[in-house]
A and B are shown apart, each in its own frame.
Chain A
Amino acid sequence: MPISTSFFDVYSVIDTSTDNVTLAITITELKADPNNAGQFTEVPNNDIEATTTVKLGTSTVGDPKMGSFNGFIIGKNNDLANLMITVTTSLADVNPDSNVVRLSYTLTGGGNKYSRDLLSGVLNQGDIVEFLATIRFY
């Protein structure tokens, strides 16, 4: 998986539906597998420090979320068409036993389930990295 800390994509919603569209982010710490060059293994204790703010247009949706989360309601299907969300995650590597972080985004409730991963590079302990997911609803 290539190293990338942002993406832009589109997500279909259902104009006639009042169901909620929800977002989940799963944060996974990884470290290089000493036995397999180029491969990563998951660090069992997820001690990453991360804060995520979701903006719909320029308005903040809900409260900032700490760490991994799921079921975060962005809005109703029929309210979201033609709007754009920016999902900004600030993440700090405070665990010296890991050096790579994967963020897995999942959107549900709209036309289809949508999943996308982002992967950070090597972090120094105490460094902060920002991930950005921008999604245009249609």
Chain B
Amino acid sequence: MKKLLLLAAIAMASVKGFTQTDSTISLDILRAPSQPGFVLLGIEPENIETPQDPTDVLVSLRNATNNFSTLPRSYAIDIAPAWVFRSKISAASFLNQKGDKPLPNMWQTLRFSFATNTPNTAGADSNLTQMGIGFKTSIFRGNKMDVDWDSSRQQLDSMRAILKNRNFAVANYIASAINSDSELKLYSDKLVAVTIALAQKQDSVRQNPALASDASFMLRQSQLEGERTTYSTYLNMRNENVRQAAVKHFDDSLSVQMGIFKQLAGELKFRRYGWKLDLAGGIVLNYPNQNFDYSLLTRYGAWLTGGYETKQAVNFLGVTRLMLNPNEMYKDKNDSLRTGDNLNFDAGAKIEWTPQGGLSRFRMAGEGIYRTTLNNSAIDGRLRYTINLSYAVDKNTLLNFSVGKNFNSPTQYGGNLIAALNLLVGLGGSRPVLMK
């Protein structure tokens, strides 16, 4: 089973490599680092993951802040199958989802996370490699949508200028074509004539209701109505042909401008807010000798993260997590080393703020989690707290810095410093909108 999971991970990553990119708009949807794989390994800079829209593939390199002198020892990749295999997904439905339909939400936001960590340890564990395999999905992901028009004003001004130029050119083309179309003029004269004749017939009936039962009068009226429909249909068709010819002409001749317009539209920022609820879980495998055929299941569990994000982009989140650690080493009250299947329960809270109503590149968060071991009274409760700062370096690229205190290990006492730098790169932020 473990091998199957690994092969599935490799296969899914390979499939992404062959996925064609399309010309759809690219939305910047990477907002905060949160990878279940890292959470399972216990090295996620933020232990309470902020619900977010997934990118197709999310790559993370994590490093202790050792003066940036060492290569990263931890790597993670997240894959969102609904977007990797997205031929049947409508981004319109993705965007229009109001968070009140859990099943579509869960499929569209489902992602699998694969992370590895090589702890910087000596002795028997010096060859240890850990692998976390997790999943995450959003049951509710914000029932409100906000587009910040003020901060997008520059894009909008550019778009309006392009739109205005195009409209002026199209209008000139159409007016010239319509007014030089002698057949359209001829049939519009006929339509006017038949409309006037019909109006006169209707006036006649109003003045002399007995005409309504005059067969020849009504036959002529019926003929006129038929003629009116015929002329009107023909003129509508001819008019539409002119419109389509103009659209095609300017789609071709203004293709560069239209490309810029589409890009500007795609750069408009939007975000969801409101109630959010995520479900995540997974397993951790240890490879003591870095041997693929020999691994130990060392942790598995699941957690719920939920809360409310305000329109001003302040997140209030809580988490509850159950994690079983088979054969975990711990110290009892007498400082004797023992092993046991410890069932940990975490409860925590987080507050997160992104300035400028969620549109700033900078974000800060603080969180605290209290852990109790439900089935082992020998292990004391312990606390973890961190402050996290992140900065959007570029579109779909985040740099995250975390500092704080980790959970005390069951085998030692005293604080564990968290000081980590995390680089996340989201791949495949484009969202296709299918015609329906």
Instruction: Check if A124 sits within 8 Å of B24, measured CB to CB.
Output: yes
Tally A residues with Cβ within 8 Å of B. Answer: 47
- How far is it, in angstroms, between the C-alpha of A52 and the C-alpha of B166 when the chains are bound? 11
Q: Is the CB of B236 within 8 A of A122?
A: no
Residues on A with C-beta less than 8 A from B191 are 10, 136
Q: Does B258 contact A (CB under 8 A)?
A: yes
A138 to B170, CA, bound (A): 26
A78 interface residue (CB < 8 Å to B): no
What is the bound-complex CA distance between A52 and B265, given in angstroms? 20
B174 in contact with A88 (CB, 8 Å): yes
Q: Interface with B: A15-23, A91-99, A102-110, which one?
A: A91-99
Note all chain B residues with C-beta closer than 8 A to A126: 25, 261-266
Contact B174 A122 (CB under 8 A): no
Q: Which residues of A contact B395 (CB under 8 A)?
A: none
B175 within 8 A of A: yes
Say if the beta carbon of B270 comes within 8 Å of chain A. yes
Tell me which of A12, A128, A130, A138 has the highest count of chain B C-beta atoms within 10 A of its own C-beta: A128
Contact pick for A31, options B96, B232, B239, CB 8 Å: B96
Tell me the bound Cα distance from A124 to B263 in angstroms.
12
Interface contact A99-B156, CB-CB below 8 Å? no
A3 smallest CB distance to B (angstroms): 12
The reply to whether A8 and B235 form a contact with Cβ atoms under 8 Å apart is yes
Q: Is the interface of A mostly helix, strand, loop or mixed?
A: strand
**What string of 1s and 0s marks CB contacts (under 8 Å) between B154-167 and chain A?**
00100110011011
Contacts of A9 in B (CB 8 A): 232
- Which has the most chain A C-beta neighbours within 10 Å: B95, B196, B263? B95
CB distance from A11 to the nearest CB of B (A): 10
Q: How many residues of B contact A (CB 8 A)?
A: 54
Q: How long is the Cα–Cα vector from A47 to B242 in the complex, in angstroms?
A: 28
> In the complex, which residues of chain A have a beta carbon less than 8 angstroms from the beta carbon of B264?
126
Asked, given contacts A130-B170, A132-B242, A132-B243, whether A94 binds B268 with beta carbons under 8 Å apart, the answer is yes
Q: Shortest CB–CB separation between residue B105 and chain A, in angstroms?
A: 13
Q: Are B96 and A86 in contact (CB under 8 A)?
A: no
- Chain B 239-251, CB within 8 Å of chain A: the 1/0 string? 1101100110000
How distant is the Cα of A96 from the Cα of B97 in the complex, in angstroms?
11
> How far is B105's CA from A34's CA once the two chains are assembled, in angstroms?
14
Check B145–A96 contact: CB distance below 8 A: yes
Q: How long is the Cα–Cα vector from A5 to B98 in the complex, in angstroms?
A: 29
CA A125 – CA B145 in complex, angstroms? 15
Q: Hey, which chain A residues are within 8 Å of B265, CB to CB?
A: 92-94, 125-126
Asked if A49 and B163 sit within 8 Å, CB to CB, the answer is yes
List which A4-51 residues lie within 8 A (CB) of chain B: 5-10, 12, 31-32, 34, 47, 49-51
Residue pair A94, B179 in contact (C-beta under 8 Å): no
A84 contacts the other chain (CB 8 A):
yes
Within 8 Å by CB of A138, from B196, B258, B262, B435, lies B196
Q: In whole angstroms, what is the CA distance A9 to B236 when docked?
A: 8
Residues of chain A within 8 A (CB-CB) of B182 are none
A96 CA to B174 CA in the complex, in Å? 29
Judging by beta carbons under 8 Å apart, are B175 and A86 in contact? yes
Residues of B within 8 A of A64 (CB): 164, 167-168
Contact B192 A138 (CB under 8 A): yes
Check if B171 is an interface residue, CB within 8 A of chain A.
yes
Q: Would you call A51 and B167 a contact (CB within 8 A)?
A: yes
Residues of chain A lying within 8 A (CB to CB) of residue B238: 8
- Whether A90 is near chain B, meaning CB under 8 Å from some CB there, is yes
| Interface residues in chain A, defined as those with a beta carbon under 8 Å from any beta carbon in chain B | 5-10, 12, 31-32, 34, 47, 49-55, 57-58, 60, 64, 66, 84, 86, 88-90, 92-97, 99, 121-122, 124-128, 130, 132, 134, 136, 138
Interface residues, chain B, CB within 8 Å of chain A? Answer: 24-25, 92, 95-96, 98, 101, 145, 147, 149, 156, 159-160, 163-164, 166-168, 170-172, 174-176, 178-179, 188, 191-192, 195-196, 199, 232, 235-236, 238-240, 242-243, 246-247, 258, 261-266, 268, 270, 433, 435-436
Known: A84-B179, A88-B175, A99-B433. 7 other contacts (CB 8 A): A34-B101, A51-B160, A88-B167, A88-B171, A88-B174, A96-B268, A121-B435
| 10 A-B pairs whose Cβ atoms sit less than 8 Å apart in the complex | A12-B195, A86-B174, A90-B166, A92-B159, A92-B163, A125-B25, A126-B263, A132-B240, A132-B243, A138-B196
